[in-house]
Structure 1
Amino acid sequence: MSESTTAPAEAAAPAPGAFGLLRLPESVLLGAGTLRALPTAVSELGTNAFVVADPFVATTPWFAEALAALEAAGVRATVSTDVVPELPVDSIERVAETARGASPEVVVGIGGGSALDLAKLVALLLAHPGPLSRYYGENAVPGAVLPIVAVPTTAGTGSEVTPVAVVSDPERELKVGVSSPRLIPRRAIVDPVLAVGAPAPVTAFAGIDAFVHAVESFTARRAAPDWSTTQPVFVGRNLLSSLVGLEAVRVIGANLRDAVRNPGELAPREAMAYGSLLAGMAFATGGTHLSHAVQYPVGAATKTPHGLGTGLLLPYVLEALRPETVPELNMIGDALDVPPGPAEERAIAVVAAVRDLVHDIGVPASLAELGVTREQLPRFAELSLGVTRLVQNAAVPATPELLDAVLEAAWSGRVTSDAATTPVRN
């Protein structure tokens, strides 16, 4: 078996028929101190703002200073801190009703993924009639939403640059997505200072979710778009998503452990803000796949954070896809500094390296640790198959047998490759 000779992604020439697609905000600001640009970013879009803020964020001195700066810039701000984790649909409609009373011209989201997704959905419901369920799925938003300014305070969802918002609907057994390019914020302000001091679990679960975004966008299917029609939200792996996705893998892989272990240090927060932003850009068009599809029913059943679930599932998904994604896994191995070796063997080592990262930041090793029973697995597989926009984005067809294998491995905490037959955690 020959040594792997995979070249870094940036050195490879485009293959015949290759294409690229990115959809981005009008402006993206990244760096320490960029929060000072908030008054200008908002006032350019309107002078009456509805601010959706994480309730903890709203207690911080910097948030009060930001509101004062908006007022000084002539922007009237109405604040809602009614951000419920995982966004139950009734809470979204409640906040949207409050927003209607303020008649805003622009919506500002400040906080983690739930706050930013809520801002997107409020902007949607202010422009188009409810119920929210009419917009579930892809490309169902019929027109422009109110302009959105997104200010993330965690490095994870990448929601500040993506066309997706995720909802928990009690009438369904899994989370659902509202996916439309119309949800992409007009302005994104990514100030890593805002994440300094975040608790380790918040940093870990947000950060590993960003890592999953990057890896799944890089291991997504390769499609042949029909440019004469409206494109799906997720078009699969492409030249541009791969470029930023692989850089996100490199940056997050090198800095996530440090960010979790040293919550008060700025440098790892700067790196994670950069990596999460790139991962959001990557999956905004490349898309995610099986880790996210399976997390939807698992998260709904266990009431566990989204990033915890996607991070837990990723090694088992990569193992299931490994035979068909050896080249991609080797390129991920380059980004993670996995030692060289025969391509197939190195792909196994890459899965192990991902598993080690997940373990090192405190993500549970198995679904059993979340209280999932083996009897629940078939229903999870059935529900996951129903998330067609994600399962169809995987590099290989997501058959019931494939999802059964992923779930069984994730429940037991074991992968099946010869080099990784021991439990993740003793």
Structure 2
Amino acid sequence: MFRNFKIVSNVIFGRGCFNQLDDILASRRTGDDTFVVFLADHVFRENEPFKARIPVRGRDMVIFVNTDDEPKTAGVDALVAQIRAACDRLPAGVIGIGGGSTMDMAKAVALLLTNPGSAADYQGWDLIRHPAVWHAGIPTLSGTGAEVSRTTVLTGPEKKLGINSDYTLFDQMVLDPELLAGVPPEQRFYTGMDCYIHCVESLTGTYLNTFSQSYGEKAMELCLEVFLEAPPDSDDKLMMASYFGGMSIAYSQVGVCHALSYGLAFVLGLHHGIGNCVAFDCLEEFYPEGVREFRQMMNEHHIELPRNLVSSLEDHQLEKMTDVALVLEPLWENALGKDWKTIMTRDKIRELYQRM
């Protein structure tokens, strides 16, 4: 069976296109009592020029989301409660402005406003029953692919796992490369490597097909150009690499690195980008060419990864990391095939973690 998957229905790209957000939202504002919720990364809280560009009207809410930690189901539940307490009707839209964490929060909030219970109830595949509130993603970092993904990755009480659903997809993307200006170099690298690793895992996976290969090869080409050649339009190219990388895994899947990084995030609290880099650097056995190029890009940008992160962990923590990684069965199957359980045993996963 071929999977019939959805894509984001409206995309606007170009330098300065963020200024058209008010026009985009005009069709959503159908009356005086309608309102829009803007969820913005807390790094913009004191940025008055940027805040002035957010097209706030009437009863709109602007909420700054703390992204010091990975997005959590409890945080989503708290935001949903805050919005419901402020108004007795649904917002006309939820707009996520920031990196992958902020966009994941926006997607999850849009879903939980129309579906009962906690965000933790929906961690898994196709558990959402009702369409989300109309929602838009505006990335201010590039690489995560969150702007095009059908998942919103959240850490819950028991696991780190996405809410995977066609309803998760944004209805609108605003891709403005100008918004990437000023991102700290290390953060830019780690998020960009998320995209690069998406491509390596997609292009070497057993789920590979011409659709995912076409997007993945172009995204990888753009990543290598951005991080090894540094062209003047690097931000434009990195933003498109993120888009293409996200599309590549939409019809395939990621693999060993992402599965292991989920365990690192759950137990150690590592952000997704750096967690992927820490894990990928130890995976020559599975991705020899990708790891070689990754180290070349690290050297070019003078990146020093944290080391010995797992050496002081207690046995129960290693066991929990292994549990979290093993939940992600589609990732392992993509990487290693249908017999992956004979290859990736608990002992093998522990051995890989102990290299980090």
Alpha-carbon distance change, 407 to 33 in structure 1, aligned in 2, over 3 angstroms:
farther
Q: Does 1:192 align with 2:163?
A: no
Number of paired residues?
Answer: 345
TM-score by length of 2: 0.86
Q: Tell me by how many angstroms 1:34 deviates.
A: 1.2
Question: Which whole-Å CA distance do the structure 1 matches of 2:119 and 2:184 have between them?
Answer: 32
Q: Is the 8 A contact 1:123 1:147 kept in 2?
A: yes
Paired position in structure 2 for 1:357: 297
SS in 2 for 1:107: strand
Give the counterpart letter for 1:87 in structure 2. Answer: P
Query: Counterpart in 2 of 1:108?
Result: 95
Rounded to whole Å, the distance in 2 between the matches of 1:167 and 1:349 is 30
Q: Secondary structure at the match of 2:308?
A: helix
Q: Does 1:387 align with 2:328?
A: yes
**Residue of 330, 344, 351 corresponding to 1:408:** 351
- Out of 332, 340, 344, the position equivalent to 1:398 is 340
Q: 1:368 aligns with which of 308, 314, 317?
A: 308
2:15 maps to what in 1? 32
For residues 70-110 of structure 1, the C-alpha deviation after alignment (integer angstroms, 9 at most, x for no partner) is: 53xxx642111133431122211111111222431110000
1:279 matched residue in structure 2: 245
Aligned residues of 1:31 and 1:191 also touching (Cα < 8 A): yes
- Whether 1:295 and 2:252 are equivalent positions in the alignment is no
Secondary structure at 2:42's aligned position in 1? Answer: coil
CA contact (8 A) 1:382 1:400 kept: no
Q: For 2:229 and 2:11, locate their aligned partners in 1 and report how far apart those are by CA, in whole Å.
A: 25
Match of 1:45 in 2: 28
AA of the residue aligned to 2:60: A
The one-letter code sitting in structure 2 at the alignment partner of 1:212 is I
CA apart distance, 1:61: 4.1
Which residue of the partner structure matches residue 143 of structure 1?
130
CA contact (8 A) 1:117 1:166 kept: yes
Q: Percent identity?
A: 24
Residues 94 and 28 (structure 1 numbering): CA distance in 2 closer, same or farther, change over 3 Å? same
The separation in 1 between residues aligned to 2:302 and 2:252, in whole angstroms, is 28
Deviations 1:227-255 (A, max 9, x none): xxxxxxxxxx2322211111001101221
The aligned amino acid for 2:115 is H
Q: Is the 8 A contact 1:321 1:395 kept in 2?
A: no
Partner amino acid for 1:167? L
Unpaired segments ≥5 residues, structure 1: 1-16, 223-236, 260-264, 323-347, 414-426
Match of 1:241 among 209, 212, 215: 212
Match of 2:82 in 1: 98
> 2:285 — aligned with what?
320
Cα distance in 2 between the residues matched to 1:359 and 1:21: 41
Tell me the SS of whatever aligns to 1:247: helix
Q: Aligned match of 1:250 in 217, 221, 226?
A: 221
Residue aligned with 1:159, SS = coil
- Are 1:34 and 1:189, in contact at CA under 8 Å, matched by a contact in 2? yes
Mean Cα displacement is larger for which, 308-317 or 191-200?
308-317
Contact 2:256 2:331 survives alignment (8 Å) = yes
In the TM superposition, 1:262-277 aligns within 5 A as 267-277=233-243
Please give the per-residue CA displacement for 1:159-190, whole angstroms capped at 9, x wherever unaligned: 11111111112x22x41211111110000011
Aligned partner of residue 65 in structure 2, secondary structure: coil
Q: Secondary structure at the match of 2:285?
A: helix
**What is the letter of the counterpart of residue 355 of structure 2?**
S
| Deviation of 1:364 (Å) | 5.2
Contact 1:320 1:406 in 2 (8 A): no
State which structure, 1 or 2, has the greater radius of gyration over its C-alpha atoms. Answer: 1
- Segments of structure 2 that go 5 or more residues without pairing to the other structure are none
Give CA deviations for 1:358-394 in whole Å, capped at 9, x if unaligned: 4544555575246555956565334312222322332
Question: Of residues 217, 229, 249 in structure 1, which corresponds to 2:202?
Answer: 217
Q: What is the TM-score when the length of structure 1 is the normalising length?
A: 0.73
C-alpha distance in structure 2 between counterparts of 1:320 and 1:382, whole Å: 22
Q: Secondary structure at the match of 1:133?
A: helix
Q: CA deviation at 1:151?
A: 0.3
Task: Give the direction of change, closer, same or farther, for the CA distance of 1:349–1:117 in structure 2 (3 Å limit).
Answer: closer
Cα distance in 1 between the residues matched to 2:243 and 2:281:
22
